[in-house]
Structure 1
Amino acid sequence: METKRPISFIRNGIVRLPPGFRFHPTDEELVVQYLKRKAFSCPLPAAVIPEINLCNFDPWDLPDRSAFHRSIRATGSGYWKAAGKPKPVVATASRELVGMKRVLVFHKGKPLRGSATDWVMHEYCLPSNLAQRSNSIRSKDWVVCRIFERRTDEVAENRRRRKRRFGNGRVELDPSCSSSSSCLTDLEEEEEEEGDEGSSKAIDSPDHV
């Protein structure tokens, strides 16, 4: 009688999620459970984020678009350019600052003369105090990145939907909200979240700006 081989979801030491499962952590989970543990050489909850060198790949050539990485912002075809200011990642329970989130856009060509593409990177790093502590343990500064391609047609449709929903742009705030910043959605960031399901997670060290 033929013995059936067990189905393996491991490739190159990385767990491959079975069909129907999605790896979709919150910003806090990504920083606390993965980035912080990686920086301090602690066991990870699951080996679902591979470690690669992003400077060896253009975004469309990433094997899984997810990786741990020591960051370099230039690639063979272009470079990643920051868009806007970094935003804090705050723990839900303690309200403690656990990380910073930065949005970058991939530009084709040489710096200062490149043209923007639809490829977006969300880059997460530890606060400076934790980063310094991790440096005393290991020589690498890690960051975790999520890389995806924005779909232009989806972004346009989302804008049309919001315009129909909110009319002239005025939004009624819930009285329970303490401030408008906690109640209003950052439209640009929401559009960035509308990327491919094959988006990337990567941990990287920002040695270059």
Structure 2
Amino acid sequence: MENISVLSNREEGQINSPPGYRFHPRDEELLTYFLYKKTNIAEFSAKEIAEVDIQKFEPWDLPWEAKMGDDEWYFFCLRNRKYQNGFRTNRATEAGYWKSTGRDGEILREKSLIGKKKTLVFYMGRPPTGAKTNWVMHEYRLGGNLSVHNSPTPAENEWVICRVFETISRGKRTHISDIKRLDGSSPVPPSPPVVPDYLPETNGP
């Protein structure tokens, strides 16, 4: 299926990366530095990662909700349960739905399980006749030694990190400068660059 152009009604809030700075954390860093702290420290916030409700946005609108990113965008999200007493997650939007592919990947630190990564693809329409698009999401959640169930004060809802991107030919990712609105106009004008106060740490929580 051809790439879907962006229809955006928001033109504020995005922070473009300053020259030379790229936010490309490893899977382990996303879990140990960002997600673990988000889950266990009430006042923790990250300049690089915005909080959104994934189900309230179509994937082509999400880049404009992110704080920064050129060809991939990161978000803190609360997993939205499909059933009140169940474990299945609601992944539907107004235009379509996210469908998981394959088994969840395990993320290890020093040979110990610390979390899992689920890969999902966005489909237009409703199952089972949805049309596959080029939008992909990696959903990271804590597990093993870092599981929220091992926390002394487990959260009622589980935080996850979602990494969203769109692929083009030969597996390459769409750069934000190539994303256009449906009316053919240019992307959102860049905001003044913000230099981060820190770089991701790798020594765990």
TM range (shorter): 0.5 to 0.7
Which residues of structure 2 form unaligned runs of 5+?
Answer: 1-11, 67-72, 80-89, 177-205
Change (3 A) 1:69 1:79: same
Equivalent runs, 1:56-71 vs 2, <5 Å? 56-62=56-62, 63=64, 64=66, 65-71=73-79
Q: Is the 8 A contact 2:148 2:154 kept in 1?
A: no
CA distance in 1, matches of 2:18, 2:104: 34
Select the structure with the greater relative contact order (CA < 8 A; seq sep ≥ 6). 2
If you compute each CA radius of gyration, which structure gives the higher value, 1 or 2? 1
2:101 equivalent in structure 1: 83
Equivalent runs, 1:107-118 vs 2, <5 Å? 107-118=123-134
Q: Is the 8 A contact 1:89 1:101 kept in 2?
A: yes
Change (3 A) 1:112 1:128: farther
Q: Deviations over 1:132-184 (max 9, x none)?
A: 13483422201111110111x223xxxxxxxxxxxxxxxxxxxxxxxxxxxxx
1:104 aligns with 2:108: no
Equivalent runs, 1:140-159 vs 2, <5 Å? 140-151=157-168, 153-155=169-171
Change (3 A) 1:128 1:111: farther
Deviation at 1:96, TM superposition (A): 1.3
Q: Is the 8 A contact 1:134 1:141 kept in 2?
A: no
SS in 1 for 2:103: coil
1:37 aligns with 2:54: no
Q: Is the 8 A contact 2:38 2:45 kept in 1?
A: no
Q: Is the 8 A contact 2:31 2:140 kept in 1?
A: yes
Bigger proportion of residues as helix: 1
SS in 1 for 2:74: coil
CA distance in 2, matches of 1:77, 1:53: 15
CA distance in 2, matches of 1:106, 1:85: 17
SS in 2 for 1:112: coil
Q: TM-score normalised to the size of structure 2? A: 0.63
Q: May I ask how many residue pairs the two structures share in their alignment? A: 146
Q: Could you tell me which amino acid in structure 1 is paired with residue 149 of structure 2?
A: Q
Change (3 A) 1:121 1:140: same
SS in 1 for 2:133: strand
Q: Is the 8 A contact 1:33 1:44 kept in 2?
A: no
1:27 equivalent in structure 2: 27
Cα RMSD (Å): 2.4
Which residues of structure 1 form unaligned runs of 5+?
Answer: 1-10, 156-193, 199-209
Over 6 Å off, 4+ runs: none
